[in-house]
Amino acid sequence: MFEPVIRTDRLTRYFGKRCVVSDLDMKIVPGQVTALMGLNGAGKTTTIRILMGLLRPTRGRCTVFGEDSAQLTPETRMRIGYLVEGHFLYRNMRVNQCAKFQRSGYSRWDDTLFDDVVAHFGIRPSNRIGELSRGQRAGVALGLVLAPDPELLVLDDPALGLDPVSRRALNETLVEFAGQGKRTVLLSTHLLDDVERVADRVMVLVDGRLRVETSTEDFINRVSGFSVEISPANVDQIGSISGLIEARKRGGRFLLAIADADDQTMAVLQAISDSAVETTELGFADCVLSYLTSKRGDQSFLGTQKSGAI
C-alpha cells in the first residue's frame, strides 16, 4: 500500500468567524491525477495554500511527503511544482530569462522538458512575456513548474480563461507528465470536461466540506438519473428518497439524481409516481452539477461518513 503524497486530518481554516475549510480529511495517493472541484468560495484555493505552506490551518494537520505543510523543508519544496491561479509572470522578461531565473532556485532542471512544453504552446524562447497571449503565458508557467521534474504537481485553476486550443495543449501536457504512474497531480478546476479527460480521482468540496472522494469511474457509475411524474399530493415524499442528490422540475415531470440507487429506490419511486418511472442517462458533468446545486445539509454523498470519503 502506497503512503499518501498528501494527507489531511480534520483540516480547518477560519477567516474571522467564517469557516472556509471544515474538518477536511483526504488522502492523495501517488501516481494519479486527482481533481478538486467545487463552486467559487468552496475552499479549493484555501486548501491548496495550506498544502503549500502559505497559510496555517486554524486547527487540524496537513502533511506533504510526510512533512508538516507548515514546515516544508527546501528539499521537499523542490519535489513540488506549484502553479498558482492567474499564471503570474514578470511581463518584462523574455521566456528564456524566466527559465534562467526559475532554474536558479532548483538543484534539478530539465532544459529539454521546458523547451518542449513552451514549443507545444507555439512559444519562442525570445518572446517577451508581455507579448504573449493568456494561453501562451499559461504554457510558460506550466513549463516553469515542470522543468524541475517535480514528483508532485499542484495546479490551481490552470485553464481558467484559456481558449480551446490552449486547454487541449494543457491537458495533453498533464496526461503526458502524469503518465505511467510516476508522478502525482492535484488539479483544482471548474472545467468539468477537462476533469473527465485527465482525472483518475475526483474530490468535491461544498462549503469547505469534502463530500466526494472516489475514482472518476466510480463517481459516474454510482449516480443515476430518473424522470418521474409526481402529483402535488406526493411531492413532499421526494425529500425522503434515500441517496437523493437533486430534484428539479422540468415541465410536468421531476428530474432526480440519486446516489447508489437500488431495488428499494425503484420501489419508492414507483410508489410516489403517477406514471412509469423513466431512467435518464447522466454524464460526468451532469453528476457533478447535480451535486453542486443541491441543498443537502450535513449529509454526505456516496457514503455515510460526514467527510464524504470512500
Task: Assess whether pLDDT exceeds 60 at residue 305.
Answer: no
Looking up residue 14, the CATH number of its domain turns out to be: 3.40.50.300
Closest CA to 205 of 17, 56, 35, 13: 35
**pLDDT tier for residue 296 given thresholds of 50, 70 and 90:** very low
Whether residues 214 and 109 share a domain: the answer is yes
Whether residues 159 and 265 share a domain: the answer is no
Whether residues 66 and 201 share a domain: the answer is yes
Q: Work out the average pLDDT over 296-302.
A: 42
Whether residues 162 and 106 share a domain: the answer is yes
Pairing mode, strands 18-28 and 6-15: antiparallel
**pLDDT tier for residue 301 given thresholds of 50, 70 and 90:** very low
* Total domains, the chain: 2
* pLDDT value of position 292: 84
Helix (H) or strand (E) holding 174: helix 164-177
Rounded distance, CA 51 to CA 72, Å? 10
* pLDDT value of position 147: 93
CB 152 within 8 A of CB 186: yes
Instruction: Output the average pLDDT for the chain.
Output: 87
Helices (H) and strands (E) in the chain, counts: 10, 14
Q: Work out the average pLDDT over 215-225.
A: 92
Whether residues 196 and 268 share a domain: the answer is no
* pLDDT value of position 309: 37
Angle at 237 between CA 236 and CA 239, to 5 degrees: 85
Residues of the domain holding 86: 6-218
268 Cβ partners below 8 Å, 6+ apart?
A: 237, 240, 241, 242
Span 111-167, pLDDT tens digits: 998 998 899 888 999 999 999 988 888 889 989 999 998 999 999 988 776 778 878
Span 222-247, pLDDT tens digits: 999 999 998 888 888 888 899 998 88
**pLDDT tier for residue 171 given thresholds of 50, 70 and 90:** confident
Whether residues 130 and 20 share a domain: the answer is yes
Whether residues 165 and 270 share a domain: the answer is no
* pLDDT value of position 1: 58
* Residue 138 domain-assigned (yes or no): yes
When comparing pLDDT for 295 and 138, which is higher?
138
* pLDDT value of position 234: 83
235 Cβ partners below 8 Å, 6+ apart?
A: none
* Residue 305 domain-assigned (yes or no): no
Rounded distance, CA 156 to CA 141, Å? 12
* Residue 205 domain-assigned (yes or no): yes
When comparing pLDDT for 275 and 127, which is higher?
127
Whether residues 212 and 257 share a domain: the answer is no
Whether residues 190 and 264 share a domain: the answer is no
Q: Work out the average pLDDT over 11-19.
A: 95
**Neighbouring C-alpha atoms within 13 Å toward the C-beta of 10:** 3
Task: Assess whether pLDDT exceeds 80 at residue 177.
Answer: no
* Residue 299 domain-assigned (yes or no): no
Task: To the nearest 10°, report the CA torsion of 245, 303, 5, 47.
Answer: 40
**pLDDT tier for residue 180 given thresholds of 50, 70 and 90:** low
* pLDDT value of position 110: 93
CB 36 within 8 A of CB 205: yes
Place of cell 491561479: 85
**pLDDT tier for residue 170 given thresholds of 50, 70 and 90:** confident
Task: Assess whether pLDDT exceeds 50 at residue 212.
Answer: yes
